[in-house]
Amino acid sequence: MEIGARIARAQVEGLARSRRQIVAGPLAGMLHDRDDWYLSTMVAAEPGRAFIPDEVAPSLAIIRQAFAAEGRWLSAELVDEANPGLAEALEADGMTIVSRLPLLVVEPDDLITPELPAGVTVKLVASDDDQKLVNEVSAEAYEMEGAGFDFKPDPSNGGAVLVYADDVPVATAAWTAVADAVTEVAGVGTLHSHRRRGFGGIATAYATLKSFELAGATLAWLTPGDDGADRVYRRLGYAPRATAVHLGDPGGHLADLR
């Protein structure tokens, strides 16, 4: 299977474990019970299969209505190579392409785990108390109150690591639910006071390593937020294999229900 389609299919399966699906033609809305904007999204329902262009507009209307009914802003995450042209079809129906980013992947034999500087340790998140610390680091790193996730005892459903500098938690990274031995490494965040010191790269590398060792993943992927992050991830062995496309729906179409 082409790697872009494999990643996109694994993403659909992983998201479906913790979200309600609204499948409409070539699209699948993924609604999380929490209303944080970043937890609900839309993906391609059948990565790797050609879509029927005339089905896009009515399918998008169904998912817009479902998201609006629950007060959710609609965004979409696609792998361009898995469904060529779908992003442009959504754009033609009023969505906005926010970004096209290189989708970087790494396999176990290619992962480069950096040596830990003196005073730096990495801890696997293993309890609700650990997860609370992760969420506190994420909230400060992303300047977003309430950022973070719930602790998942089973690593195959996702997990996280915390990087400590002199016993102070300063950075974190997580992996998502594993499907078809694929996981996304996400939620990489470092306290503002400790940036540009390599902690984000350490967190990314160890989250990737633990997804391989504990969760059964054999392929990890991520998307860099900027050129600096891209360089960091490539030094860890990540390499571009596809293209991620992120879209937003201006205004969220909530006005339709008012």
**Measured in whole angstroms, how far is the alpha carbon of residue 139 from the centre of its chain?**
16
Q: Checking phi first, is residue 131 left (phi over 0); if not, alpha (psi -120 to 50) or beta? A: alpha
- State percent of the chain over pLDDT 70: 96
pLDDT computed for residue 255 by the predictor = 39
Q: Which residues contact 168 (CB under 8 A, 6 or more apart)?
A: none
Tell me which of 6 and 255 has the higher pLDDT.
6
CA–CA dist 24, 91 (Å, integer): 17
Q: How far is CA 18 from CA 29, 35, 49, 158, 176, in A?
A: 12, 13, 24, 11, 11
Q: Identify the band that residue 1 occupies on the pLDDT scale cut at 50, 70 and 90.
A: low
Phi, psi of 170 (to 5 degrees): -125, -15
The conformation of residue 33, written as its DSSP 8-state character, comes to S
Summarize the confidence of residues 44-70 as an average pLDDT: 97
Looking at the predicted structure, is the pLDDT value of residue 91 above 70?
yes
Residue 194: phi and psi, rounded to 5, are -125, 20
Instruction: Tell me the average pLDDT across 187-214.
Output: 96
Residue 147 has pLDDT above 80, yes or no: no
